[in-house]
């Protein structure tokens, strides 16, 4: 098949690469010339400046110029195309609704070019990035209004988690496609021929609206599950003496019906999808006069969870943040990424600054550069109080407290660093339960406060 992938962000680039690996002729298009130049080099360093997924640059290197091509000129590659995947950014508006400005202008541009093409074979336009329920229908109108002939629309949402996107694209749990016409289902069966009859991968065909809804329900379900553990499990462990949250998790998730993923209590879930999608679904349901208390609670529990440990530190350990120097380790929303979208660390640092800390010493193995852009002192003068470090050791040195805000594996060794670099009285706030040997810290006079457990003083 000749495939165009419009938009070369995380979703688009991974999709283009994996489609090219399966022998399709793929044109990855973006209007960002610098990005396309970087990808066209096939050089892993250039590619990883934009999208850093394990295995991705290897596929690009292998298929470039053979099955995979990059372009900033849609018109030049349009003839003979079978399928166009729309993988465009859909950021949130302030009220939670999805901003379709970029999507709409790309769709208009594609429509214009398709209307003028010489080859009038059937072309399928497929929404891959997360878009509100009904967007495929809306895309159909854009195409019809521009006079595009012989086309179909489809929804084919992606379910990729950052850090394992290539692996999950090669072997997804399910492929969901939503179309109206038999010939359009047929085009997608050809695109995904490796999955259609797979024994383990569920290939699900339905209406475009159902496919769009599957994505929102999946992500809000996952966040709700995390919120359940943070809002119920963690609270039991924190308030009722002698309850072990770790044993509670093991005991509950021994049931096959209950997943272990999501049962790890934390100071909130972040990332590019969960917060954005749940707010968008709440908004979409409000448009049809449905108020969804369940979704609102999941979202609120997660937002509160990001910072409630700061209040616990004050009420349960008596720590006063005013004028103190606090280290924050873990700036990205999870390990193995530099992505800080919706990261708990943002709320943690803003709240600490609001409590009058003298200085924040911030560390993350990958996200320091992202953090510098997120905490722009031109936007908020308080951000001048943040200093960045390239090791946890340097960040912890000379501080009064430490907040661990993500699950980087190296944080499991932080107790030694703490003992080496600082002296009690000192407060360790652990938002991810990353310190297995916290008892050694207590024995040396440190105070330890973790999500899911009662506060532990020496």
Using CB under 6 A as the binding rule, whether residue 333 contacts ligand UDX is answered as yes
The residue among 238 and 407 lying less far from ligand UDX, judged by its C-beta, is 407
Task: Return contacts of 438-447, CB within 8 angstroms, 24+ apart.
Answer: 440/415, 441/415, 444/419, 446/418, 447/317, 447/319
The residue among 100 and 273 lying less far from ligand UDX, judged by its C-beta, is 273
Using CB under 6 A as the binding rule, whether residue 162 contacts ligand UDX is answered as yes
Stretch that binds ligand UDX, among 57-65, 67-75, 138-146, 259-267 (CB under 6 A): 259-267
Stretch that binds ligand UDX, among 89-97, 245-253, 260-268, 292-300 (CB under 6 A): 260-268
* Residue 324, Cβ density class (10 Å: 0-12 exposed, 13-18 middle, ≥19 buried): middle
Q: Quick one: which H or E segment has residue 316?
A: helix 308-317
The residue among 266 and 415 lying less far from ligand UDX, judged by its C-beta, is 266
Q: Are 210 and 134 in contact (CB under 8 A)?
A: no
Q: How are strands ordered across the β-sheet holding 359-363?
A: 386-389, 359-363, 325-329, 401-404, 427-430, 447-450
Using CB under 6 A as the binding rule, whether residue 407 contacts ligand UDX is answered as yes
Stretch that binds ligand UDX, among 13-21, 58-66, 106-114, 261-269 (CB under 6 A): 261-269
Binder of ligand UDX out of 76, 221, 261, 300 (CB under 6 A): 261
3-state secondary structure of 120: coil
- Pick from 173, 158, 168, 130: nearest CA to 54: 168
Using CB under 6 A as the binding rule, whether residue 25 contacts ligand UDX is answered as no
Binder of ligand UDX out of 83, 106, 160, 331 (CB under 6 A): 160
Could you give the CA distance from residue 18 to residue 26 in angstroms, rounded to a whole number? 10
Using CB under 6 A as the binding rule, whether residue 431 contacts ligand UDX is answered as no
Using CB under 6 A as the binding rule, whether residue 388 contacts ligand UDX is answered as no
Q: What is the DSSP string of 251-272?
A: HHHTSTTS-STT-S--S---SS
CA 396 to chain centre: 28
Stretch that binds ligand UDX, among 143-151, 218-226, 318-326, 358-366 (CB under 6 A): 218-226
The residue among 76 and 221 lying less far from ligand UDX, judged by its C-beta, is 221
Binder of ligand UDX out of 161, 196, 440, 454 (CB under 6 A): 161
* Virtual torsion, Cα 100, 215, 191, 182, nearest 10 deg: -90
In whole angstroms, how close is the CB of 430 to ligand UDX at the nearest point?
A: 13
In whole angstroms, how close is the CB of 348 to ligand UDX at the nearest point?
A: 13
Look up residue 296 and give its two tokens: 């609102």
Using CB under 6 A as the binding rule, whether residue 301 contacts ligand UDX is answered as no
Could you give the CA distance from residue 333 to residue 323 in angstroms, rounded to a whole number? 27
**Residue number with the shortest CB distance to ligand UDX?**
271
Binder of ligand UDX out of 40, 220, 266, 329 (CB under 6 A): 266
Using CB under 6 A as the binding rule, whether residue 246 contacts ligand UDX is answered as no
Q: Are 202 and 175 in contact (CB under 8 A)?
A: yes
In whole angstroms, how close is the CB of 83 to ligand UDX at the nearest point?
A: 21
Using CB under 6 A as the binding rule, whether residue 243 contacts ligand UDX is answered as no
Stretch that binds ligand UDX, among 55-63, 97-105, 121-129, 154-162 (CB under 6 A): 154-162
Using CB under 6 A as the binding rule, whether residue 273 contacts ligand UDX is answered as yes
Using CB under 6 A as the binding rule, whether residue 334 contacts ligand UDX is answered as yes
Using CB under 6 A as the binding rule, whether residue 219 contacts ligand UDX is answered as yes
Strand partners, 27: 4, 69
Q: Is beta strand 427-430 parallel, antiparallel or unpaired with respect to 447-450? A: parallel
- Pick from 172, 174, 203, 206: nearest CA to 190: 203
User: Could you give the residue ranges of the DSSP H alpha helices within 335-427?
Assistant: 344-354, 368-374, 392-396, 414-421
- Pick from 165, 170, 430, 168: nearest CA to 271: 165
The residue among 98 and 272 lying less far from ligand UDX, judged by its C-beta, is 272
Using CB under 6 A as the binding rule, whether residue 30 contacts ligand UDX is answered as no
Using CB under 6 A as the binding rule, whether residue 330 contacts ligand UDX is answered as no
In whole angstroms, how close is the CB of 306 to ligand UDX at the nearest point?
A: 10
Could you give the CA distance from residue 244 to residue 438 in angstroms, rounded to a whole number? 14
Binding site for ligand UDX (CB under 6 A): 159-162, 219, 222, 226, 261-264, 266, 269-274, 333-334, 407
């Amino acid at each position: 098949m000749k495939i165009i992938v419009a938009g070369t962000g995380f979703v688009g680039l991974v999709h283009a690469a994996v489609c090219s690996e399966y022998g399709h002729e793929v044109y990855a298009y973006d209007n960002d010339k610098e990005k396309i130049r970087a990808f066209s080099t096939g050089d892993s360093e250039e590619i990883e400046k934009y999208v850093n997924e394990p295995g991705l640059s290897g596929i690009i290197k292998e298929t470039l110029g053979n099955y995979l091509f990059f372009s900033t000129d849609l018109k030049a590659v349009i003839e003979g195309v079978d399928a166009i995947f729309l993988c465009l950014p859909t950021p949130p508006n302030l009220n939670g609704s999805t901003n379709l400005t970029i999507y709409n202008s790309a769709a208009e541009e594609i429509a214009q070019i398709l209307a003028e093409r010489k080859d009038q074979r059937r072309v399928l336009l497929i929404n891959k990035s997360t878009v509100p329920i009904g967007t495929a229908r809306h895309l159909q109108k854009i195409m019809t209004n521009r006079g595009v002939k012989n086309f179909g629309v489809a929804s084919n949402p992606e379910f990729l988690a950052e850090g394992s996107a290539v692996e999950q694209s090669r072997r997804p749990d399910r492929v969901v496609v939503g179309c109206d016409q038999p010939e359009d289902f047929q085009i997608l069966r050809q695109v995904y021929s490796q999955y259609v009859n797979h024994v383990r991968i569920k290939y699900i065909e339905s209406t475009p609206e159902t496919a769009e809804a599957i994505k929102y329900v999946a992500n809000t379900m996952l966040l709700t599950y995390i919120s359940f553990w943070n809002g119920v499990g963690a609270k039991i462990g924190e308030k009722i003496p002698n309850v072990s949250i770790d044993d509670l998790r093991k005991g509950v998730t021994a049931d096959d019906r209950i997943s272990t993923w999501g049962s790890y209590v934390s100071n909130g879930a972040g990332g590019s999808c969960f917060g954005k999608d749940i707010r968008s679904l709440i908004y979409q349901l409000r448009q049809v006069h449905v108020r969804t208390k369940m979704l609102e609670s999941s979202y609120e529990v997660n937002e509160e969870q990001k910072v409630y440990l700061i209040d616990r530190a004050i009420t349960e350990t008596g720590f006063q943040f005013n004028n103190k120097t606090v280290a924050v380790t873990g700036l990205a929303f999870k390990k193995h990424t530099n992505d800080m979208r919706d990261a708990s660390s943002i709320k943690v640092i803003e709240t600490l600054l609001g409590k009058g800390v003298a200085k924040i010493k911030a560390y993350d193995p990958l996200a320091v550069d992202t953090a510098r852009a997120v905490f722009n002192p031109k936007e908020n003068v308080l951000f001048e109080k943040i200093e960045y470090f390239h090791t946890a050791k340097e960040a912890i040195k000379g501080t009064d407290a430490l907040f661990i805000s993500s699950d980087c594996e190296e944080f499991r060794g932080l107790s030694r660093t703490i003992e080496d670099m600082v002296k009690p009285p000192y407060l360790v706030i652990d938002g991810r339960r990353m310190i297995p040997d916290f008892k050694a810290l207590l024995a040396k006079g440190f105070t330890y406060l973790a999500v899911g457990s009662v506060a532990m003083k020496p």
